[in-house]
Amino acid sequence: MSLSIGQVAPDFSLLDTEGRKWSVAGYDGAPATVVVFTCNHCPYALAWHDRIVDVAREYQSRGVRVLAVNSNDADRYPRDSFDAMKDRVAKEDWPMPYLHDATQEVARAYGAKVTPDVFVLDAEDRLRYRGAPDADYDNPGERAEWLREALDAVLDGSILERPETKPVGCSIKWKA
Amino acid sequence: MNVELLWWEGCPSTERALTAVREALTDLGLANVDVRMREIRGDDDARETGFVGSPTILIDGVDLVPAAADEQIGLSCRVYRRRDGRVSPIPDPDDLREALRSAAERAEVTR
């Protein structure tokens, strides 16, 4: 079952690649949080990655937190192992933490289906947007516009005209 | 010429890949060439075929983009690079056309 628009998102406690613990709840003052399920090996997640990174950088000054979560089964997909996640973050310049959902409980709790799958939460951790970052993984000019629209609406307190879009990407690799 | 598209249901790129192959064939005047679709259903199937991700396009049995030696065999979506360096779930259309053109020329020579 997926998290519905308006529902309070389940809290979690996950480690990032630096060993720091992150959660959704308990961050007073964050006007919005983006939880994006992503991974190392999916072409869709990789194609959209830079656009999500740009959003994380550009909205940081407005207090927005972006949390990237990898929930894939690393036994069957070693490129998504915690070590591989650490390697990737060490090689790239990530403005957001990369969290390891080893038990896949977070992906299940959110109803995440693919990578990338974007969830935008407001200051009360209620889901305001869920879906793809924008309309076309193949067009960097799209600039993660759907995600930006959602964040702008949350930050401005305005009504979001497109609260849900179809997430597009590789299926999350569930443990057998 | 035999063109085969190996696909796995966990990837949403199959239709796009098939369209790209058909467009390339049409561009080359080879619209009459059939594209055989072959579903990879499980890990055993993937191992047997050496499947490194969906979509994989075989032209006369040869992978359009030969897999790297460390490429993992299994059910996943394949990462391609466009000629401009962008990551893509399907091959660059120019790579596709080039491979099909070469295969067509080889077939012409051996006829």
CATH number for A150? 3.40.30.10
Number of domains in chain A: 1
Taking residues A8-19, what's their average pLDDT? 97
Whether A134 is covered by a domain: the verdict is: yes
Contact B3, B58 (CB under 8 A): yes
Beta-strand ranges (E) seen in B51-106 are 56-59, 62-63, 80-81, 87-88
- Number of CB atoms found within 10 A of residue A157's CB: 9
Contact A68, A42 (CB under 8 A): no
B72 touches chain A (CB under 8 A): yes
Amino acid B111: pLDDT: 59
Contact A83, A6 (CB under 8 A): no
> In the predicted model, what is the mean pLDDT of chain A?
96
Distance between CA B23 and CA A173 in Å, rounded? Answer: 32
Verify whether the Cβ–Cβ distance B10 to A140 is below 8 Å. no
Kindly report, residue by residue over B15-50, the tens digit of the pLDDT.
999 999 999 999 999 999 999 999 999 999 999 999
Q: Tell whether the model's pLDDT for residue A161 goes beyond 80.
A: yes
The strand order across the sheet containing A65-70 reads A21-22, A14-16, A98-100, A65-70, A32-37, A117-122, A127-131
Spacing of C-alpha A47 from chain mean position: 14
Chain A contact residues (CB < 8 Å to B): 41-44, 46-47, 76-79, 114, 137-138, 140, 168-171, 173
Q: Tell whether the model's pLDDT for residue B86 goes beyond 90.
A: yes
Is pLDDT larger for residue A143 or for residue B65? A143
Give the one of A42, A76, A138 whose C-beta lies nearest to B77's C-beta. Answer: A42
Residues of chain B contacting A138 with CB distance shorter than 8 Å: 86, 88
Domain that holds residue A104: 31-171
Q: What is the CATH number of the domain that holds B69?
A: 3.40.30
Verify whether the Cβ–Cβ distance B74 to A79 is below 8 Å. no
Is the whole-model pTM more than 0.90? Answer: yes
Spacing of C-alpha B72 from chain mean position: 17
**Please, which residues have CB within 8 angstroms of residue A109's CB and are 6 or more apart in sequence?**
A3, A10, A12
A14 exposure class (CB count in 10 Å sphere: 0-12, 13-18, 19+): buried
Domain that holds residue B27: 3-110
Q: Tell whether the model's pLDDT for residue B110 goes beyond 70.
A: no
Phi, psi (rounded to 5 degrees) for B8: -130, 140
